[in-house]
């Protein structure tokens, strides 16, 4: 039985407890972080852990979605691979919204992040939060 769990203001740690209690397969879509609201001008970030991506739904087709892709490289380490925002939506802060959601995820899960995406590297440099800096590593 597959269950789609849509989370509002519940943090991932609470979801983990729920999952350990229940034995079922699921797709987790986190609309926003437990620490920060990842919304801007009516847009929200959806975290699909099964697909290892953050998504902002911009239009009716998949090609109109903004996405940030990542992969687990080893236990406790993710590689933030790529951010894509469709051309008509660029320059509106959508990539920044995705980058913030990804970095908050890294901090909340106490992961290390190798950053190969040029935009996320730029975001981390321009937003030098100590919590971000201590989670970024040079080599994957």
- The predicted-structure confidence for 61-93, as pLDDT tens digits, reads as follows 667 899 999 999 999 999 999 999 999 999 999
User: If one looks up domain 36-137 in CATH, what number appears?
Assistant: 3.40.630.30
- The predicted-structure confidence for 12-27, as pLDDT tens digits, reads as follows 333 333 333 223 233 3
Q: Is 21 helix (H, G, I), strand (E, B) or coil?
A: helix
Query: Is pLDDT above 60 for 113?
Result: yes
Q: Is 44 helix (H, G, I), strand (E, B) or coil?
A: strand
Per-residue model confidence (pLDDT) at position 62: 65
Query: Is pLDDT above 90 for 51?
Result: yes
The residue among 32, 8, 28 whose CA lies nearest residue 16 is 28
Rg (CA), the chain: 15
pTM tops 0.85, yes or no? no
What span, in angstroms and rounded, lies between the C-alpha atoms of 72 and 80? 9
Q: How far is CA 115 from the centre of its chain?
A: 13
If you average pLDDT over residues 107-130, what whole number do you get? Answer: 93
Domain ranges of the chain: 36-137
């Amino acid at each position: 039985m597959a269950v789609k769990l849509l989370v509002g203001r519940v943090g991932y740690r609470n979801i983990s407890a729920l999952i350990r209690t229940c034995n079922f397969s699921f797709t987790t879509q986190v609309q926003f972080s437990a620490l920060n609201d990842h919304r801007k001008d009516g847009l929200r970030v959806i975290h699909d852990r099964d697909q290892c991506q953050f998504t902002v739904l911009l239009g009716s087709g998949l090609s109109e979605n903004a996405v940030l892709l990542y992969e687990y490289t080893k236990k406790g380490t993710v590689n933030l691979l790529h951010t894509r925002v469709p051309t008509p939506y660029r320059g509106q802060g959508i990539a920044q919204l995705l980058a913030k959601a990804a970095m908050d995820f890294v901090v909340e899960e106490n992961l290390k992040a190798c950053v190969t995406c040029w935009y996320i590297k730029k975001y981390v440099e321009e937003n030098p939060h100590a919590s971000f800096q201590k989670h970024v590593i040079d080599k994957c």
